[in-house]
Amino acid sequence: MRGYGALLGVGLVLVAVAAWVGGRGAMIGGGVALAAQLAAVALLKPAMDASQQVFLARWFGGMGIRALTLGGLLAVAATHRAALPLLATTLGFLGVLLPLLFLEIRFLK
């Protein structure tokens, strides 16, 4: 449970920075990225000591969660541009997700 709390804490700080830099759209994109990362880590963490086949299946599942989340966010931002600016939302998503991906191994221990 400690790893999830640390992931959530770091993610919330990154979302706050994204909101400060990019506004509401970046905050929404960052929040969606944080939710996707939490789901991906929750999927992968139980398989850390499993066989390679199980581990890779869950790792690909986590990557699928992130990709589908980005695709859904882009679809909503592209069709509702007045409510959700496309560029700020995408940059907020990537600005939160990429640092969390680099730190992912620390949260999986």
Give the pLDDT confidence score for residue 92 in this predicted structure. Answer: 95
Give the count of domains, the chain: 1
pLDDT digits (tens, 9 = 90+) for 5-55: 888 999 999 999 999 999 999 999 999 999 999 999 999 988 888 899 999
Q: Given pLDDT bands bounded at 50, 70 and 90, which one contains residue 4? A: confident
Cα separation, 7 vs 68, in Å, equals 21
| Contacts for 86 with CB less than 8 Å, ≥ 6 apart | 25, 74, 77, 78
- For residue 7, CA distances in Å to 21, 31, 72, 86, 93 come to 21, 13, 23, 26, 16
Give the pLDDT confidence score for residue 82 in this predicted structure. Answer: 87
DSSP summary character for residue 45: G
Give the pLDDT confidence score for residue 83 in this predicted structure. Answer: 86
**Tokens read off for 81:** 């541009």
Q: Read off the pTM.
A: 0.91
Give the pLDDT confidence score for residue 11 in this predicted structure. Answer: 94
Over 90: is that where the pLDDT of 89 sits? yes
Cα separation, 33 vs 12, in Å, equals 11
Instruction: Compare 1 and 9 and report the one with higher pLDDT.
Output: 9
Average pLDDT over residues 1-5: 74
Please measure the distance between the N-terminal and C-terminal CA atoms of the chain and give it in whole angstroms. 11
**Domain range enclosing 29:** 2-108
DSSP summary character for residue 80: -
**Tokens read off for 39:** 């789901």
Give the pLDDT confidence score for residue 1 in this predicted structure. Answer: 57
